């Protein structure tokens, strides 16, 4: 039945059952744990609280009784006031404890005992409240009688508190017993379910393993038979899982192998025949390729020689082009230098012409200086005459004109020096004028010579320009020749490389034909071996 289920679904089903068992086991464990927790919670929240409140109630009642006796023993007003306050505080604590305890009890017995306690406490408290007043009034006998009266209620009150404690302890024992029973039941049930889960898990694992391992063993045995060349055994199959599909595939593979082996046997025979025929054809092709290789070697030698000659022509053309380029560069450099010379000569001619013009202007200015010197000379002569007249007048004046005479002598001497200086300047100016005239003549000659030189330089520049153009034309033609030679050399080298490639291919073709011939013989031998191998299979 399991063989009709897919392995994936079968695995999911098995693990799902295991998970369900675990969930059931966990759920039961949680349910039992919750029961134990509820028992513990009741003990903690109800019984423990009741025991604590019961103890607190018992303590406060004892303190209340002690306070009642203190009313009678301590009789001063301050002490009575102090213990009256204690009474009120303790009474309030007792009321709170009674109220808290009343909310925690539920059983009828507890409620009955609680009712008795409250009645006794109310009577005790009512009688005890009169004691402070009697003691303050000094009525000690009446106070003692009252104390004896309320003492009657203290015994049932204490008895009721003790009964409540017994009831609390009995309830605690009951809850303890319930918790122990719950734990024992949970332990037993968990152990039982764990054993059941383990047993079911083992059974499920056993069946699941058998449903997978058994068909796999059958598939392995079938594969080993196929690997042992037994292709004639039928493959039986049942089920609808992946192992069944594997066995079906192995069956198809066995049938395909059987058909393939039969076809290989037939093809091996045909291969042997074709290999022998191809070997004969390849031997003939190898001989033809060897003859072709010899002819290609001759062509390669001729093209190599032609390529060397073309390379030499290209090298010579390139060298001539380089020399032409060098001549053109030198001609352009000379043209540039000559242009610089023309520019320099032209600038020199302009400068000389300017210097000549400036020399003429200088000659004219020196003539103006002579006119000024004539004026200065005339002024000096007049000054000398005036100084002479002044000296004569001073001599006539006698002693009164002596100082004036001295001044007149100085003026006359100054006039004489001015006249002498004017003469010297005039001589210098004459010399400058003569030098300027000579300079003007020389500069005019230099201008004429510079113009001639500039003309010759321009003619030389034109000639160098024509030479430069001619050299450029020669260079262009050399470049054309060099380019053509280089292209021809490249074509020759390309033809050479192609021929070498053809020769190499021919060598390769010869080698390939030999290998093909060898391979043909090996194919023939392989066909024979295939027949022997096919004989091993049981078809």
Is there a contact between 537 and 231 (Cβ–Cβ < 8 Å)?
yes
Tokens encoding 89: 């505080």
Ramachandran category for residue 233: left, alpha or beta (phi over 0 → left; psi -120 to 50 → alpha): beta
pLDDT score recorded for residue 328: 66
Residues in the chain: 539
The per-residue pLDDT for range 94-124, each reduced to its tens digit, is 878 788 777 777 778 878 878 887 887 777 7
Which SS3 state, helix, strand or coil, does residue 321 take?
Answer: helix
Is there a contact between 366 and 460 (Cβ–Cβ < 8 Å)?
no
Q: What percent of the chain has pLDDT over 90?
A: 0
* Side-chain half-sphere CA neighbours of 144 within 13 A: 4
Separation between Cα atoms, residue 204 and residue 192, nearest integer Å: 18
Is there a contact between 54 and 165 (Cβ–Cβ < 8 Å)?
yes
Angstrom CA distances, 539 to 232, 250, 260, 274, stand at: 5, 16, 11, 26
Closest CA to 310 of 295, 296, 503, 302: 302
The per-residue pLDDT for range 174-188, each reduced to its tens digit, is 777 877 787 788 788
Domains and CATH numbers, the chain: 29-186 (1.20.120.1730), 272-534 (1.10.287.950)
Tokens encoding 373: 């010197």
Is there a contact between 349 and 444 (Cβ–Cβ < 8 Å)?
no
Paired strand residues for 538: 230
pLDDT score recorded for residue 538: 59
Q: What is the dihedral of CA 261, 266, 268, 270, to 10 degrees?
A: -160
The per-residue pLDDT for range 226-265, each reduced to its tens digit, is 776 776 777 666 666 666 666 777 777 767 777 777 777 6
Q: Alpha carbon 305 to chain centroid distance?
A: 63
Whether this prediction's pTM lies above 0.75 is answered by no
Task: State the average pLDDT for the chain.
Answer: 72
Separation between Cα atoms, residue 344 and residue 453, nearest integer Å: 11
Q: What percent of the chain has pLDDT over 70?
A: 61
The per-residue pLDDT for range 11-47, each reduced to its tens digit, is 777 677 778 877 877 777 777 666 666 655 665 556 6
The end-to-end CA distance of the chain, in Å, is 35
With both helix axes pointing from N to C terminus, report the angle between 108-128 and 140-227 in degrees, rounded to the nearest 10.
Answer: 150
pLDDT score recorded for residue 320: 65
């Amino acid at each position: 039945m399991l063989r009709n289920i897919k392995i994936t679904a079968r695995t999911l089903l098995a693990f799902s059952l295991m998970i369900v068992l675990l969930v059931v086991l966990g759920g039961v464990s949680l349910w039992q744990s919750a029961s134990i927790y509820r028992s513990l919670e009741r003990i903690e929240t109800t019984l423990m609280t009741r025991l604590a409140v019961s103890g607190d109630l018992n303590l406060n009642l004892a303190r209340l009784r002690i306070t009642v006796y203190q009313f009678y023993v301590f009789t001063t007003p301050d002490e009575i006031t102090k213990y009256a306050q204690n009474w009120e505080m303790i009474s309030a604590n007792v009321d709170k404890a009674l109220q808290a305890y009343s909310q925690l009890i539920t059983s009828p017995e507890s409620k009955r005992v609680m009712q008795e306690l409250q009645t006794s406490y109310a009577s005790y408290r009512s009688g005890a409240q009169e004691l402070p007043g009697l003691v303050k009034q000094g009525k000690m006998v009446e106070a003692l009688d009252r104390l004896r009266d309320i003492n009657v209620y203290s015994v049932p009150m204490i008895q009721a508190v003790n009964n409540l404690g017994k009831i609390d302890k009995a309830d605690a024992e009951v809850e303890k017993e319930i918790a122990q029973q719950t734990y024992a039941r949970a332990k037993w049930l968990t152990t039982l379910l764990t054993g059941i889960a383990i047993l079911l898990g083992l059974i499920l694992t056993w069946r699941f393993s058998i449903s997978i391992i058994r068909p796999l063993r059958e598939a392995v045995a079938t594969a080993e038979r196929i690997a042992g060349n037994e292709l004639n055994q039928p493959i039986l199959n049942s089920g609808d899982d992946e192992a069944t599909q594997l066995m079906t595939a192995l069956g198809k593979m066995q049938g395909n192998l059987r058909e393939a082996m039969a076809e290989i046997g037939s093809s091996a025979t045909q291969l042997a025949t074709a290999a022998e025929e191809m070997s004969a054809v390849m031997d003939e092709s190898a001989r033809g390729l060897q003859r072709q290789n010899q002819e290609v070697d001759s062509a390669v030698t001729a093209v190599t020689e032609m390529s060397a000659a073309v390379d030499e022509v290209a090298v010579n053309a390139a060298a001539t082009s380089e020399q032409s380029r060098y001549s053109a560069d030198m001609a352009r450099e000379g043209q540039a230098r000559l242009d610089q010379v023309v520019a320099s000569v032209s600038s020199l001619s302009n400068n000389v012409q300017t210097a000549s013009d400036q020399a003429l202007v200088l000659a004219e200015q020196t003539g103006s200086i002579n006119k000024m010197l004539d004026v200065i000379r005339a002024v000096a002569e007049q000054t000398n005459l005036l100084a002479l007249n002044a000296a004569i007048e001073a001599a006539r004046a006698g002693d009164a004109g002596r100082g004036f005479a001295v001044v007149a002598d100085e003026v006359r001497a100054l006039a004489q020096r001015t006249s002498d200086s004017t003469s010297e300047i005039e001589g210098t100016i004459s010399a400058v004028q003569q030098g300027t005239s000579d300079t003007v003549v020389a500069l005019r000659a230099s201008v004429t010579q510079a113009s001639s030189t500039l003309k010759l330089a321009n003619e030389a520049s034109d000639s160098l320009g024509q030479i430069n153009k001619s050299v450029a034309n020669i260079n262009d033609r050399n470049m054309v020749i060099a380019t053509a030679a280089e292209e021809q050399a490249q074509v020759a080298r390309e033809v050479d490389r192609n021929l070498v490639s053809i020769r190499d291919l021919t060598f390769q073709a010869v080698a390939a034909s030999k290998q093909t011939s060898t391979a043909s013989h090996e194919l023939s031998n392989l066909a024979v071996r295939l027949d022997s191998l096919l004989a091993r299979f049981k078809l």
